[in-house]
Amino acid sequence: MIKLQNVSKSYMSPNGVFQAVAPASLHVEEGDVYGIIGFSGAGKSTLLRMVNLLEKPDDGKVYVDGQELTSLSKKDLRKARQSIGMIFQHFNLLNNRTVAGNVAFPLEVAGIGKEEREARVRECLEIVGLTEKINSYPSKLSGGQKQRVAIARALASRPKVLLCDEPTSALDPQTTRSILAFLKEINQNLGVTILLVTHEMNVVKEICNKVAVMENGHLVEKLSLSEKEIAPKTDIAKLLFEEEFTEKRGVIHV
């Protein structure tokens, strides 16, 4: 469903060129909830943002649902992006719009008519259990409710893929669990493939079936979590996994 082929990204820094992501390849299959974990600054968000070309890779190819995004015109890319939803750590809602207005926003941009928009807004707010907040403004919502609105907005275009950038990092543990439960439901009931960046191992453990570990801009290891024995090879993956799965120390923040 998502294929990254040798994508890389560098930025100019005061000390010269800084490689945020070294050539990386990743294959996310349809139905996966694929996690990307690593320390702060490892390049996780940059890698994620290259999937919908919010960050344009310097090199390499990006395929989503069989289409090479890196070869599309601006117009075709805009269209292709409609099948890729995205949610963020800080929700990124429009504060001057109601909940309904936020969820309707991508549909307005896509030129979908009023009646269809209103039906989709209701449908998506039902999925996240927020119908009663349809006319509220974001300032009146809790963090968890804001993230549910953001999920509803991401679902409005009926995407095949949902990109999640630290979706629960601004939330308390209980709210985190409920947001993760919504994401899992969306994956299982709507068949949406999820690629999720996190620094919290409990998030990976809770909903991912696969995980990639990033360190200093490199994708250093990929693991399937459906195996009985998880056998990480790199030091960083061992650090993350063995403590979590063997010693059962609970949440590790990296």
Ligand X SMILES: Nc1ncnc2c1ncn2[C@@H]1O[C@H](COP(=O)(O)OP(=O)(O)OP(=O)(O)O)[C@@H](O)[C@H]1O
Residue written as token pair 């005061």: 14
CA distance 40 to 51: 19
How, if at all, do strands 16-28 and 2-13 pair? antiparallel
Q: How far is the CB of 219 from ligand X (least distance, A)?
A: 11
Q: How many CA atoms lie within 13 Å of 86's alpha carbon, on the beta-carbon side?
A: 18
Taking the least distance from each CB to ligand X, the nearer of 107 and 164 is 164
Taking the least distance from each CB to ligand X, the nearer of 3 and 44 is 44
Q: How far is the CB of 208 from ligand X (least distance, A)?
A: 16
**Which residues, 6+ apart, have CB-to-CB distance to 197 below 8 Å?**
35, 36, 37, 44, 45, 47, 48, 164, 165, 166
As given in the structure block, the two tokens for residue 233 are 């090879």
Q: How far is the CB of 197 from ligand X (least distance, A)?
A: 6
Applying CB under 6 A, does 46 fall inside the site for ligand X?
A: yes
Name the one range near ligand X by CB under 6 A: 42-50, 148-156, 171-179, 201-209. Answer: 42-50
Q: How far is the CB of 62 from ligand X (least distance, A)?
A: 16
Applying CB under 6 A, does 45 fall inside the site for ligand X?
A: yes
Name the one range near ligand X by CB under 6 A: 40-48, 65-73, 96-104, 246-254. Answer: 40-48
CA distance 62 to 44: 16
CA distance 36 to 218: 11
Q: Which of 2, 26, 42, 204 binds ligand X (CB under 6 A)?
A: 42
Applying CB under 6 A, does 38 fall inside the site for ligand X?
A: yes
Q: Which of 26, 28, 44, 154 binds ligand X (CB under 6 A)?
A: 44
Taking the least distance from each CB to ligand X, the nearer of 130 and 240 is 240
| Residue among 37, 34, 48 at smallest CA distance from 226 | 34
| Residue among 222, 231, 232, 234 at smallest CA distance from 28 | 222
| Residue among 166, 183, 163 at smallest CA distance from 253 | 166
Taking the least distance from each CB to ligand X, the nearer of 43 and 85 is 43
Q: Which of 199, 204, 208, 213 binds ligand X (CB under 6 A)?
A: 199
Query: What are the residues binding ligand X (CB under 6 A)?
Result: 11, 20, 38, 40-46, 199
